[in-house]
Amino acid sequence: MNADHTILLVDDEWNMRNLLTIYLQDAGFQTIEAVDGQEALTKLADEKEKIDLVILDIMLPVQDGFDICRKIRTHSAVPILMLSARKELHDRVEGLNVGADDYLTKPFESEELLARIRALLRRTSYQTEEKDGNLLFPDGLQIFYEKRQVYINEALVELTAKEFELLYKLAASPERVFTRDDLLHFIWGAEYIGATRTVDSHIKNLRSKLKAAGLPENRIATVWGVGYKFS
């Protein structure tokens, strides 16, 4: 699996990039380096580079890792593992809130780093995303973006427009934690001024419909105190 996966390392410290490169290349991964957020965004936008995962340091010059993570999430669902010397809970929560899939504090052991990377790559391997935006999952869930249709084991599931948009947004970024405010912004628009419980009621209805249609497990998980994720 490893030889086919390329990891983008984003860190302004040469020593850390070198250490990560040694760990990853010894484990069979290919690596690409970026010294700041802008270089990372440029390499992610390069269609010649197929990047499977990003390791993103928080303490970067000009724009920190939180800002870069937000920008990546506006156009990409690539798995993001954040690195930081900060151990405070609010930093880990902030990292998840802006779109990181996992968070690892420095110093760390190479075994834990590699285990977390492989876990993230396994999660994304469960999903196949076609060029036209369709999402197909091994448990029978199929989401067709252009047709705005959802099927479970070939049976059509009737969803409202907002329910479809919620499901697609969550499913397109598996394991990313979205806050209620995130979902209100993405689905209802920046000008929406209603209560965040609107999201909760739509999620409840969506879960019920998916379960009634035969989806074997609840795929929309609640992250207490934060929001929701597709798992």
| CA atoms within a 13 Å half-sphere pointing along the CA-CB vector of 172 | 20
Taking only the tens place, the pLDDT of each residue in 105-128 is: 888 899 999 998 988 887 665 544
Q: Averaged over 45-74, what is the pLDDT?
A: 85
- 175-226 tens-digit pLDDT: 788 888 888 887 877 556 666 788 899 999 999 999 999 987 888 999 888 8
Measured CA to CA, the distance from residue 76 to residue 172 in angstroms comes to: 9
pLDDT of res. 131: 40
Q: How far apart are CA 108 and CA 87, in angstroms?
A: 12
Identify the burial level of 230 via C-beta atoms within 10 angstroms of its C-beta, where 0-12 means exposed, 13-18 middle and 19 or more buried: buried
pLDDT tens digits for range 36-48: 989 999 988 876 6
Nearest by Cα to 100 from 175, 37, 49 = 175
Write out pLDDT tens, residues 141-183.
888 887 888 999 888 999 898 899 899 888 888 778 888 888 8
Question: What's the rounded mean pLDDT across residues 83-93?
Answer: 77
The architecture that CATH gives domain 2-125 is 3-Layer(aba) Sandwich (3.40)
128-230 is classed in which CATH architecture?
Answer: Orthogonal Bundle (1.10)
Residue intervals of the chain classified under CATH 3.40.50.2300 are: 2-125
Structure tokens at 137: 């999952």
| Interval 13-58: pLDDT, tens | 999 999 999 999 999 999 999 999 899 999 888 766 788 899 999 9
Residue 107's contacts (CB-CB under 8 Å, 6 or more residues apart) are none
